[in-house]
A and B are shown apart, each in its own frame.
Chain A
Amino acid sequence: MNGLLYVASLALTAGVTGFLAYYAWRQRSAPGSRTYAGLALGQCLLALAEFSSVLSPTLVQALFWFRVRYLCLAFVVVFWMLFALEYTNRRHWLSKSLLAVLMVVPVTTQFLLWTNDLHGLWVKQEVGFHQVGPLWVANISARIPAIGFLVHSLYGLTLLAAGAVLLLAGTWGTKRIYRAQALLMASAALIAFVFAVLTAFNLLSTVEFNPFTPGIGISALLVALAVFRFQFLKQAPAADGDWNSQERKLRTRRSFAVSLLIFVVMTIGLAAGGYLFYEQYRHRFRVQAEYQLSSVAELKVKGIANWRNSRLMEASIFYRNTSFSALVQRALEDRGNARAQAELQVWLERYAAPHRFDRVALLDVGGVERMSSPAVPRSVEVRAQELAATPDKREMSLLDFYRRAGDDSVYLAILVPIWSETDNRPLGTLFLRINPYEDLYPFIQSWPSPSASAETLLARREGAEVVFLNKLRHRTNDPLSLRFPLTNTQLPAALAALGQRGVVEGVDYRGEPVFAELSSVPESPWLLVTKVDVAEIFAPEREQLWLILGSLGTLVLAAGLGLISIWQRASARHYRGLAEAAQALRESEDRYRDLVENSQDLIFTHDLDGRLLSVNVASIRLTGYTHEALLHMNLADLLTRGARDSFAAYLAEIRTKGAARGPMRIRTAAGEMRWWEYNNTLRTEGLAAPVVRCTAQDITERKLTEERLRKLSHAVEQSPAATVITDTDGRFEYVNPKFSAVTGYALEELIGKTPAVIKSGLTLPGVYEDLWRTIKSGGVWQGEMQNRKKTGELYWEYEVISPLKNEHGEIVNFIAVKEDITERKRAEEALRQEQLRLLETERELLNAHESLAEADRRESVGRLAAGVAHEVQNPLTIIRLGVDYLSKQLSQQSSQEVLAEVRGAIDRADNVIRDLLDFSRQKPFARRPTDINRVIDNAIHLTRHEARTRNIEIVRNRDDLLPPIFADPDRLVQVFINLLSNAAQAIGRDGSIEVVTRSICVSERDLERPETKRMFRPGEPVITVEIRDNGPGVSVENEKKLFEPFFTTKPVGEGSGLGLAVSRNIIIMHRGSINISARPEGGASALLMFRVAREHLADEEANSGS
């Protein structure tokens, strides 16, 4: 029945652990599950091995499977340790080398186990098996563990305990579910631990079966409960992120305690196990020793009794021996019977020696020695004589050990009374003396096995004393000389004399602790003390004790060292952490102190009544009070009188809400009023009295700036001038309401867009180029632009655009202030028309009396011209035709030459007259939209002949996209021909003339020229024509005279002096300007400016609009 239960428990264990292994492997993603799978698999295999061992058909196979258990067992504990580490996220504690160290003991165990025959280090005695029905049951109590087993067991137990402690400690501060898991796991480990201790130290010797494996089964059942109840193997604290932070918090504080706990538990476990083991071993040893002692004692008692009986038997030959008594009667009573005496003497002699009697004597009834052998007279002791003289003594008696007076030797004697059978009276006594030294003492002293201290003592009680009867092993004195009082109960002999039997521990005559078996020799007064020195008996046991202590000590030491190293590492880390933290704290504190003290902000504290508690340097500086003074002040004292009224409200707010912020007005020591912006909070935690932390900034400047900015902003917002702020790419960042009002675009519509949205397309591209060039180079641009409103309506604006620079001088924004000048433009246009009419009038006046002198001259010249022309041309005609006629008549060469010179003179005169006519003649002025480029091209075409003959290159540098101008092309051609011709004449021969046409806006610089200034306003879009030559240039004094009629720099005969005057007239009629100046690089430059034909376009616009 018991056997069946055992087998069933093994099967159950294998089943449960197998399931756990499978289950853990399936959940292997959870931390610790893999190692737990290994652990459970090891347990399962262990149970299966045990199962196989129990059911083995032969003893050899049973032993094999029994050994296989150790293979599994050895690694299970390592897996357990690994599991505990992994489960609690401490796998990093184990390096690879440390893992290898963990495996040393299990591997060594295996080596020892499977090679046990060679060295016998495993168990001194192989495990015995006994058969119970079909089962081979290991009799583990039969074995005596050796050092290998001991180390293996203690190692396993250590790891088991350490793992359990680790598990509990590691999950202590975590979620409940982990605590429950760990608790169950630790309980399981504890059960396994208990069963392992019981088995290893054989503390359950009464149990028939090996309890270890069923113990694992129970443990596994608990684990299974953890699996199903608490999600063990599905969730592990190591996988829980929350655990990590909590663990980190607790680790430092707890690590030492936990380590110490582990160590203490381990040491206690080891010490307890070792002690239990030692106790058990000692008990077993003692039992064995007792058994041995008892056996010896029994042997001795039997031997002594035998000896005594045999002595008595030998003596009893004479007792009631009728023939001997008859012989004695004859020899004693018949004194003369010599024959009888001789016969008796032979008897005595023959008997004494062979029967190892020391001496044989015959005493008569009076106790007198009558005969003896060896025949030494008076050899019979007095005591014997007395006994012999005792009447009616018919029984044989033994004279116990006694000391002979003469030789101090100890003897025993047997007294055999000799009675006459015939008349039934005593005849005498036969004295048979025994020398114990001969055989008894050696027998007593002999010991069945070699022993250094074993001794058998024979003693008897004499009154209140006990007397040792034999020769002592450890003392050379004579027998019967050593006696001890019975009160000495330490003495085994005394105890024996007092009637105690069995094994006792005591102190023998030498004072040595001994183990003694007390027994008595039957039918005698003799007490037998069979004793061995305790020291000798327990010598091998002591050896075992040292072994245990040694291995225990080594393990504890190793564990201690491991603990110390772990702890040192942890504490080193801890202290390093502390040191770093302290350093960091110092630095941080220093930083914060520095920050607070040297902050430009005011930082101070005050209590709930406003009394200042601490202030920083900035506070002192900004209030103007001393540190001392401030600390005796209330915050309210700093406030201006007006602000003081709300101080109570401030305190109340701080008190109730814990924070307050806002501006406050204070008065400095110097009486200056300042604005502070404070942001204060209440601190209560960790303080007996709450403190208000205050930070404040002096915002007086900011307030003023804000005020100024607010005014400025307000000004911009309310400005009647449209204001635009763009980024450097021209994208709108801000437009003021006026701009929105003007254009119809809201700010939101414009953000991120460029002013392209308001471009009308009527502004010349060159204007924009000029604009960007000016403002990007940091200059201020101003000019007029025609833009388009959201409604599509065109409007004019005058813009001043300036770049906005940051403190590094980089341009960050552009600001355009625009004035809607549409009205002005209209007025201006009207004015312009008026001006145009005026100009027309002026032109007329110029003809008549613009400049009185010039007009007069001009008129006179005009009048003159007609007359001169008529009067001069006719004579010239006559001369010419005459010359021509004569040249045909005169064949002489010299005549021809003279005639040619005359012809030249005629031509010059003709030219003068014609220029005069040109100047005087006023043609009707017809303006129309004109492409200036075509006019210039035409002029170049007409002067190309002259240029070619002078080898002058005319370079055209033109802007093809010029808008038309409103001009009379015929007049302009005349101007350009004139200018080109002048330039060509100025160059003389070999040079170049460059004609540049551009469209620009009039700049301030342009207006430095009086001609231009008279005609244009800044920012007005114009078309310029510049004719540059590389001739001799023009002097400053000549510049002014260039346009005066009849002024010429040409040699006499080449120019009339009217060309530039006419040209200027024509240009003025076009409301343009002309300037001729010297070029810095040499040569002269004629710069002409024309208004674009905007009037014309605007007129069209107006016409289409109306």
Chain B
Amino acid sequence: MKKRILVVDDEPAVTRLIKLNLEQTERYEVRTENLARKAIEAAREFRPDLILLDVMMPGMLGSEIAAQLQADPELRATRFVFLTAFVTKDEELESKGRIGGHTFVAKPISADELCRVVEEHLRP
């Protein structure tokens, strides 16, 4: 059974390309959501194994979505990886890809790296 991955980004091109790249591997079932306020809803509905969450989105920050997900008892176990454009190279180096206990991926990310990070977080 394919792992389910929810990708939340306000940029439809980004979500689409992530979906394309991940599904190209044929290991994941990917659903995209471009509206931040619908992300929680999508997650309840989709029940993803992993959520890829853009940090900076109009209307709601990625961290706020993450906080709501954490607060929901059904979705609490859902893992997520942030996507951000505000990480410098040094910050990425120093934090080894984690902020506040959560993994983040600096944009722009390559397909290979994306797959590696996703694979990493889907491991039980």
Contacts and interface: CB of A to CB of B under 8 A. Distances in A.
**A, B in one complex:** yes
Contacts of B111: 880-881, 884-885, 888
Contacts of B24: 885, 888
B122 interface: no
Interface in B17-45: 17-18, 20-21, 24
A382 B111 CA distance: 221
Interface in A966-989: 970, 974
A882 B17 contact: yes
B3 interface: no
20 contacts: A869-B85, A870-B86, A872-B85, A873-B107, A877-B17, A877-B109, A878-B17, A879-B108, A880-B109, A880-B111, A884-B21, A884-B112, A885-B17, A885-B21, A885-B111, A906-B108, A913-B85, A915-B89, A918-B88, A974-B90
B85 A870 contact: yes
B74 interface: no
A403 B24 CA distance: 219
Which 5 pairs show the lowest CB-CB distances between chains A and B? A884-B111, A873-B85, A881-B17, A876-B108, A877-B108
Contacts of B20: 881, 885
A917 B14 contact: no
B110 interface: yes
Given A881-B14, A974-B90, A874 B85 contact: yes
A478 interface: no
A878 B88 contact: no
Interface in B35-83: 56, 83
A90 interface: no
B13 interface: yes
A878 B14 contact: yes
Interface residues of B, number: 26
A381 interface: no
Given A873-B85, A881-B20, 13 more contacts: A873-B108, A874-B14, A876-B108, A877-B14, A877-B17, A877-B108, A878-B14, A881-B14, A881-B111, A881-B114, A885-B24, A914-B87, A921-B88
B119 interface: no
A884 B110 contact: yes
Given A884-B111, A906-B108, A911 B14 contact: no
A126 B64 CA distance: 171
A918 B21 CA distance: 30
Interface residues of A, number: 28
Contacts, number: 79
A1087 interface: no
A878 B89 contact: no
Majority SS of interface residues in chain A?
Answer: helix
Contact of A914 (B9, B56, B88, B94): B88
Nearest to B93: A942
B29 to A, nearest CB: 17
Given A874-B11, A874-B107, A881-B111, A869 B86 contact: yes
A885 B18 CA distance: 9
Contacts of A921: 88
B70 to A, nearest CB: 25
A885 B21 CA distance: 5
Interface of B: 9, 11, 13-14, 17-18, 20-21, 24, 56, 83, 85-90, 94, 106-112, 114
A903 interface: yes
A877 B9 CA distance: 11
Contact of B13 (A878, A914, A917): A878
A351 to B, nearest CB: 204
A885 B110 CA distance: 10
Nearest to A882: B17
Contacts of A906: 108
A866 interface: yes
B34 to A, nearest CB: 12
A1054 to B, nearest CB: 15
Contacts of A874: 9, 11, 14, 85, 107
Interface of A: 866, 869-870, 872-874, 876-882, 884-885, 888, 903, 906, 910-911, 913-915, 917-918, 921, 970, 974
Contacts of A884: 21, 110-112
B43 to A, nearest CB: 22
B89 A918 contact: yes
B88 A876 contact: no
B79 to A, nearest CB: 21
A881 B18 contact: yes
Contact of B107 (A866, A876, A885, A974): A876
Nearest to B11: A874
A880 B90 contact: no
Contact of B86 (A866, A877, A880): A866
B11 A918 contact: no
Nearest to A869: B85
Nearest to B85: A873
B13 to A, nearest CB: 4
A911 B21 CA distance: 23
Which residue, A869, A878, A913, has most C-beta atoms of chain B within 10 A? Answer: A878
Contact of A910 (B11, B13, B108): B108
A423 to B, nearest CB: 222
Nearest to B105: A877
Contacts of B86: 866, 869-870, 917
A870 B108 contact: no
B112 to A, nearest CB: 7
Residue with the highest number of chain A CB atoms closer than 10 Å, among B56, B90, B108, B110: B108
A903 B110 contact: yes
Contacts of B21: 881, 884-885, 888
A541 B21 CA distance: 176
B11 A880 contact: no
Contacts of B112: 884
B115 to A, nearest CB: 9
Contacts of A878: 11, 13-14, 17, 108
Contacts of B108: 873, 876-881, 906, 910
A89 B9 CA distance: 136
A599 to B, nearest CB: 88
B109 A881 contact: yes
A802 B21 CA distance: 77
A798 to B, nearest CB: 43
A874 B110 CA distance: 12
Given A876-B107, A877-B14, A881-B17, A870 B56 contact: yes
B109 A911 contact: no
A499 to B, nearest CB: 181
B30 to A, nearest CB: 12
Contacts of B109: 877, 880-881
A917 B106 CA distance: 13
Nearest to B55: A870
A1060 to B, nearest CB: 16
Contacts of A882: 13, 17
A646 to B, nearest CB: 94
A970 B91 CA distance: 12
A909 to B, nearest CB: 8
Contacts of B90: 918, 974
Nearest to B12: A878
Nearest to A884: B111
Contacts of B83: 877
B20 to A, nearest CB: 5
Nearest to A876: B108
B94 to A, nearest CB: 8
A877 B20 CA distance: 13
A879 B11 CA distance: 12
